[in-house]
Amino acid sequence: MTSNRPQVVIVGAGVAGFQAARTLSRRLGDRAEIVLVNRSGVTLHPELLPQVMTGVLSPDRVSVPLAGTLPGVRVVLGTVTHIDAHARRVLYDGGVLDYDRLIIAAGGVSEVAQVSAVSAHSFGFHDVEQALRLRDHIHRQLAMAAESTDPFERAAHCTFVVLGAGYAGTAAASAGQSLSQSIACRDPRLREQPIRWILADPAEWLLPDMRHRLSRTTARMLRSRGVEVRTQTSLGQVTSRGLRLTDGEFIPTRTIVWSFGVRPDPLVTNLGLAAEQGRIRVDEHLAVLGHPEIHACGDVAAVPDLTRPGKVTPMSGQHALRQGGLAGGNVAASLGYGSRRPYRYRIRGSIVDLVRASEQPLSVA
């Protein structure tokens, strides 16, 4: 080590990593060297992506610069390629970092399904670039519909299917429906053209981490706006002309938004650490099994769910936020500042922006 102070390295500056860094900065101050490694110099507020898509917020308003927002934290820009747990080293594309304590918060990566028949029409909704790409695509589809005289083609251009009714999918369907209606109202050629937004999920209800009563309220609000909510329904077949759902309906469309497919960062697969469902196994204090000097949190961590014995916490922003703070606190405790606490949290309600393009966001909490 180049300093007498212990060095804490945090991998990833998503929701969990940023919160861990902020907690450590407050708890430790200059009593430790805190290093945050991230691919970019910003962290994203994913809950604001619907407002980016509808134009309520500009992209720079949902990205927070890391430099200057985390006092006492050294930000290193780079992509981590490997973690040597035995040598206590983090290897990234710009060099090597030694650590006394390590927090792995690399987050998840979005996998937009590339079905060959419609790969050009597949979209994710997990970062600013995807939100902007979907926004531009909606504008193009409605412009093409307005120019077309073929009823089938008009319908296909004006039909949008969102697969996956978690937070991202529900927000995408709500924001997309609002945006498309706003565009259509300004074009006389589209005023009599039905615009369909379909939200489908194989689960029994929307937002599986939300209480059933609030899930039903969300579904009712979406339906009142014209979104077709299909639960217990998934993708059956995809062709170049559209898709068939498992309920049997064929839907002509040129837009499929995939909000499934978020998986832990591939970094975790070759670390030699115990894993479960592709996520690093940790104890209730978020310490990695067999490596108490390493903590993991957020999407990359299989955290025991103490409110549901035998299960692990789902990949969600609420868990990432709280696990990041706890990981930072428990690492500080391992260095003699504070005491360790187990992770116990049950999601009782969530905020999902059912945003309208022309008004303030409407949320269900």
Is the per-residue pLDDT at 111 higher than 70? no
Which carries the bigger pLDDT value, residue 225 or residue 109? 225
User: What secondary structure letter does DSSP report for 127?
Assistant: S
Give the pLDDT score at 359.
43
Confidence class for position 182, pLDDT limits 50, 70, 90:
very high
Confidence class for position 115, pLDDT limits 50, 70, 90:
low
Residue 178 Cα to chain centre, angstroms? 21
- Amino acid of residue 260: F
Token output for 312: 């692990």
- Model pTM score: 0.82
Give the pLDDT score at 113.
56
User: What secondary structure letter does DSSP report for 308?
Assistant: S
Give the pLDDT score at 109.
76
Is the per-residue pLDDT at 361 higher than 90? no
Chain-wide mean pLDDT for the chain?
Answer: 88
> Edge-to-edge strand order for the sheet containing 279-281?
275-276, 279-281, 301-302
Q: What is the dihedral of CA 259, 141, 175, 124, to 10 degrees?
A: 20
For the chain, the farthest-separated pair of C-alpha atoms sits apart, in whole angstroms, at 74
Compute the average pLDDT of residues 346-362: 51
Among 41-50, 172-181, 278-287, 350-359, which is the least confidently predicted range? 350-359
Q: How large a percentage of the chain has pLDDT more than 90?
A: 62
Q: How large a percentage of the chain has pLDDT more than 70?
A: 90
Give the pLDDT score at 348.
57
Does residue 349 contact residue 203 with C-beta atoms inside 8 Å?
no
Confidence class for position 358, pLDDT limits 50, 70, 90:
very low
Is the per-residue pLDDT at 27 higher than 80? yes
Give the pLDDT score at 212.
80
Among 141-145, 153-157, 186-190, 267-271, which is the least confidently predicted range? 267-271
Give the pLDDT score at 363.
42
Buried b (16+ CB within 10 A) or exposed e, 110-138: bebeebeebeebbbbbbbbebbeebbebb
Q: What digits encode the pLDDT tens for the residues 286-333?
A: 999 999 999 999 999 999 999 889 889 988 888 999 999 999 999 999
Give the pLDDT score at 233.
94
Q: What digits encode the pLDDT tens for the residues 236-294?
A: 888 888 899 999 999 999 999 988 767 788 888 888 899 888 899 999 999 999 999 99
Give the pLDDT score at 119.
55
Compute the average pLDDT of residues 145-168: 94
Give the pLDDT score at 10.
98
Is the per-residue pLDDT at 1 higher than 80? no
Q: What digits encode the pLDDT tens for the residues 30-88?
A: 999 999 999 999 998 888 889 999 988 888 888 888 988 999 999 999 999 999 999 99
Give the pLDDT score at 46.
83
Give the pLDDT score at 356.
52
Q: Which of 42, 48, 37 has its CA nearest to residue 65?
A: 42
